[in-house]
Amino acid sequence: MGSITLRNVSKVFGEAKVIPSIDLDINDGEFVVFVGPSGCGKSTLLRLIAGLEDVSGGQIVIDGQDATEAAPAKRGLAMVFQSYALYPHMSVRSNIAFPLKMANIDKAEIDRKVNDAARVLNLTDYLDRKPRQLSGGQRQRVAIGRAIVRQPKAFLFDEPLSNLDAALRVNMRLEISELHQTLKTTMIYVTHDQVEAMTMADKIVVLNRGRIEQVGSPLDLYRKPANLFVAGFIGSPRMNLIEGDYARAKGAKTAGIRPEHIGLSREAGTWDGVVTIAEHLGSDTFMHVEVSGIGTLTVRAGGEFGCRHGDRVFLTPDESKLHRFDDKGLAL
């Protein structure tokens, strides 16, 4: 129903090779997240799939059909934009009905579909309002409503939550995940926020400078990052990367250990260090510990760990969860 395949896809803007060459398979019904720092080409890649930009080379196959040259409207995809891109002069009802009207569906059918979508998205009371009379979260839901009514082969989301405040963002994240559970339609979601990527994705595609660094399930990327970039990008707080004697002793250029894989004690451990900053969140305590010969390490302790700036603590890395990288930054 909604499989998408990219073969050798590249994009060049003038002199700049934004995407040198990408191969990717997206299966029907998958929730795929493109994640990476800004300027990594994730939005460009999404726009290439949508057909809003022409590819410079390669092939895009949607549902087994070559869609490389097809107009955006002919690809059967729906898109939710960062700015929502609602039609400001139309009511919520007309906004949601617009794709159906463009498809020349009859009036009664349009009404039924719009009402269904409005019910699912809690918009029934707002159908006759204009977009400017809605809150950010409601606008986002209208944009999603406009996407779901036409039952597309796949949904494309371009950083849809980045204009919302933190609390609303968590809510919408859940709503989008639920929507995916209900519809079981392929979704491609672009974000720079690795928490969104980790919580929502079936499959994460980590992009950097127009290249795919790694593709895998959230836990694959967390447990087996293929290189230093992915190791540093996935996981919060970031993985500690240690160079020097300790790494050499482990037979690597760089050793990586996540903050949650370091044991913490007041009495004894492999390393001893001094707490420089302690962040008490209640559920967790994050500590930045200065260890001589190693550097500053971030350590995560579950629950409350009573310590302050200047306290002495002992750290023990869980060596079964140690990551090792060679001098090219690739995992060993």
Partner 1 sequence: MARKVSTRRKLVMSAIAWTLGILIFFPILWTVLTSFKSEGDAIASPPVFLFFHWTTENYAEVQSRSDYVLHFWNSVVMSLGSTLLGLVIAIPAAWAMAFSPTRRTKDVLMWMLSTKMMPPVGALIPIYLIFRDVGLLDTRIGLVVVLTLINLPIIVWMLYTYFKEIPGEILEAARMDGASLAKEIVYVLTPMAIPGIASTLLLNIILAWNEAFWTLNLTTSKAAPLTTFIASYSSPEGLFYAKLSAASTMAIAPILILGWFSQKQLVRGLTFGAVK
Q: How far is the CB of 261 from partner 1 (least distance, A)?
A: 42
- For residue 89, state whether it binds partner 1 (rule: CB under 8 A): yes
**At its nearest, how many Å lie between partner 1 and the CB of residue 52?**
5
99 is a contact residue toward partner 1 (CB under 8 A): yes
Region of 80-88, 115-123, 172-180, 256-264 interacting with partner 1 (CB under 8 A): 80-88
* Closer CB to partner 1, 189 or 229, in the complex: 189
Nearer to partner 1, 130 or 253 (CB): 130
| Least distance between partner 1 and beta carbon 99 (Å) | 4
Nearer to partner 1 by Cβ, of 12 and 103: the residue is 103
The SS3 call for residue 11 is strand
CB of 94 to partner 1, least distance (A): 9
Question: Which is closer to partner 1, CB of 87 or CB of 116?
Answer: 87
Residue 180 main-chain phi, psi, to 5 deg: -65, -40
CA–CA distances in Å: residue 120 to residues 85, 200, 306: 21, 20, 46
**Distance in Å, CB of 319 to partner 1, minimum:** 50
Q: Where are the alpha helices (DSSP H) in 92-208?
A: 92-102, 107-120, 136-148, 166-183, 194-200
Determine the residue type at 274. Answer: V
* Per CB under 8 A, 310 contacts partner 1: no
Q: Does 219 bind partner 1 (CB under 8 A)?
A: no
Near partner 1 in 26-55, by CB under 8 A: 50, 52
Cβ neighbors of 29 (< 8 A, separation 6 or more) are: 1, 2, 184, 185, 186
Instruction: Return the residue of 12, 73, 195, 277 that touches partner 1, per CB under 8 A.
Output: 73
Residue 60 in contact with residue 218, Cβ under 8 Å? Answer: no
The binder of partner 1 chosen from 48, 60, 79, 287 (CB under 8 A): 79
Answer yes or no: are the C-beta atoms of 80 and 156 closer than 8 Å. yes
Beta carbons within 8 Å of 58's beta carbon, 6+ residues apart: 6, 7, 8, 9, 10, 21, 22, 68
- According to CB under 8 A, which one of 15, 16, 38, 71 is a site residue for partner 1? 71
172 binds partner 1 (CB under 8 A): no
What order do you get walking across the sheet with 284-291 strand by strand?
262-265, 312-317, 271-280, 284-291, 295-302
Q: Does 226 bind partner 1 (CB under 8 A)?
A: no
Beta-strand pair 254-257/240-243: antiparallel
Question: What is the size of the binding site for partner 1 (CB under 8 A)?
Answer: 22
Nearer to partner 1, 70 or 168 (CB): 70
Strand partners, 262: 317
* Residue 86 is a binding residue for partner 1 (CB under 8 A): yes
Residue 176 · residue 159 · CB < 8 Å: no
- Positions in the binding site for partner 1 (CB under 8 A): 50, 52, 71-73, 77-79, 81-83, 85-89, 98-99, 102-103, 146, 150
